[in-house]
């Protein structure tokens, strides 16, 4: 084999090696790894009309939502609304909300308390209510998620105030893979 033939073969080997390395880099190094984390499903319910509340834990039936949870998924649940503060015979009130999954109250719940020392019967205000929770340990299955609401009053002789209704309630549920 002549010296020029040997150099040509060496050049061909180097070129094929470079081409092979380039192909390897394009398909194996440049391709990002498959990441299966992220959002899987979303459910959203809105109730625009006014919902009256009382001192018992009652579901907001219009927001009941059936979801499907698959293996390895977490469930994010968010509730948002506006609560009306309306004059009643109370000095202090507590607004309590819970997410309920298939009839079981879930913790943590949401508690909003307010003292209304200087309120008059003409004082009506709307307060924003937002709370959320992440449930990491639900088995793969179908579930019904609801929001239960109660208002607890500490009574006094003066006309002071309390929560009497919600308006613009929204329930957002998402399943995700962490």
Span 68-116, pLDDT tens digits = 999 999 999 999 998 876 655 455 667 788 899 999 999 777 777 666 5
| 31-81 tens-digit pLDDT | 444 467 899 999 999 998 888 776 677 788 889 999 999 999 999 999 999
Q: For residue 23, what pLDDT is reported?
A: 44
Q: For residue 115, what pLDDT is reported?
A: 60
- DSSP type of residue 117: T
Whether residue 95 contacts residue 162, with contact meaning beta carbons closer than 8 Å, is answered with: no
Q: What own/partner pairs with CB < 8 Å and gap ≥ 24 does 98-102 have? A: 98/57, 98/147, 98/148, 99/133, 99/145, 99/146, 99/147, 99/148, 100/59, 100/145, 100/146, 100/147, 100/148, 101/135, 101/138, 101/143, 101/144, 101/145, 102/143, 102/144
Q: For residue 28, what pLDDT is reported?
A: 46
Distance between CA 26 and CA 111 in Å, rounded? 55
Q: For residue 114, what pLDDT is reported?
A: 63
Q: For residue 150, what pLDDT is reported?
A: 77
Q: Give the residue with greater pLDDT, 121 vs 26.
A: 121
Q: For residue 168, what pLDDT is reported?
A: 87
Whether the predicted pLDDT of 176 surpasses 80: yes
E-strand ranges in the chain read 38-47, 51-52, 58-59, 65-69, 74-86, 90-101, 104-105, 110-115, 125-135, 141-155, 162-177
pTM for the model stands at 0.69
Whether the predicted pLDDT of 24 surpasses 50: no
- Percentage of the residues of the chain whose pLDDT score is greater than 90: 34
Measured at the alpha carbon of residue 129, what is the angle toward residues 52 and 63, in degrees to the nearest 5? 55
Confidence of residue 145 (pLDDT cuts 50, 70, 90): very high
């Amino acid at each position: 084999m002549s010296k020029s033939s040997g150099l040509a073969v060496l050049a061909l080997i180097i070129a094929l090696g470079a081409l092979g390395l380039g192909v390897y880099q394009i398909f194996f190094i440049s391709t990002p790894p498959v990441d299966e984390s992220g959002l899987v499903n979303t459910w959203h319910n809105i109730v625009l009309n006014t919902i009256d509340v009382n001192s018992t834990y009652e579901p907001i039936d219009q927001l009941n939502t059936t979801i499907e949870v698959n293996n390895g998924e977490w469930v994010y649940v968010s509730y948002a609304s506006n609560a009306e503060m309306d004059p009643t015979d109370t000095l202090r009130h507590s607004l309590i909300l819970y997410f309920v999954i298939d009839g079981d109250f879930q913790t943590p719940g949401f508690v909003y308390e307010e003292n209304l020392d200087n309120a008059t019967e003409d004082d009506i205000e709307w307060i924003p209510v937002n709370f959320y929770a992440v449930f990491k340990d639900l088995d793969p299955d179908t579930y019904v998620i609801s929001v239960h609401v109660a208002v607890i009053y500490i009574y006094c002789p003066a006309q002071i105030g309390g929560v009497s209704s919600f308006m613009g309630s929204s329930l957002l549920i998402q399943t995700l893979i962490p």
